[in-house]
Copies of this chain bind each other. A is one copy, B any other.
Amino acid sequence: MRITTVGLDADDTLWHNETIFRLTQDRFRNLMTDVAPAQVLDERLAAVEQRNLALYGYGVKGFTLSLIETAMELTGGEPSGRVIAGILEAGREMLVHPVEPLPGVEHALVELSRDYKLVLVTKGDLLHQEQKLAASGLGELFVGVEIVSEKDAATYAGAFARHGTGPAEAAMVGNSLRSDILPALQAGSFAAYIPYHVTWAHEVADPPTDHPRFTELAAIGDLPEWVRGLG
């Protein structure tokens, strides 16, 4: 057994993402402070997002539309122009938010890229993910970039076949048990879970602590050593 390929999730693995969504949600609470208490807003927004997921997919534009829809629902269909303007503005700011690699990311990827093929596997808006990768300065380190609408075992099998030597010789790394870890294990790959300090409710799952190809790492700085140890 030898590992040739390392797959990496992008949002909340290489750079902040969920934090930016949370900040926008705080801003939404401020805009709607006269309309409903924070808890009601959050619950209603979560329900609207869940309902829209199959239609809008993942990403900022769908989130912005879900915020507007939530504002409509909670104001009897008559949100103030100030609220709509604030939501549109918040959405635009999310799309131009500066992208800065998380601590230790660049060092770990440079080190890994010497001996392994690195493949980025991420969900979200196609254009926005490409823009974030370009802005991160990390693009040159990857031999392949897969921006996908859903992450399942077939996604990883395909990505590691196209850009590497197949899923059995690959390790996937990410902050979502549901999207990065469980389907990669199912595809036959190794998987390293690196938790981020907040997780979108949709992505929550239990860690497969007993799985022989699974590990949990405290930080991405620990990744090169773990990958090398796989043989």
Contacts and interface: CB of A to CB of B under 8 A. Distances in A.
A151 to B, nearest CB: 13
A89 B191 CA distance: 41
A85 B88 CA distance: 15
A105 interface: no
Given A72-B85, A84-B84, A95 B55 contact: yes
Given A61-B61, A149-B126, A81 B72 contact: yes
A18 interface: no
Nearest to A162: B162
Interface string A69-81: 1001001111111
Interface residues of A, number: 33
Nearest to A87: B68
Contact of A64 (B65, B96, B149): B65
Contact of A91 (B65, B79, B127): B65
Contacts of A127: 56-57, 149
Contact of A57 (B80, B85, B126): B126
Interface of A: 55-57, 61-62, 64-65, 68-69, 72, 75-82, 84-85, 88, 91-92, 95-96, 125-128, 130, 147-149
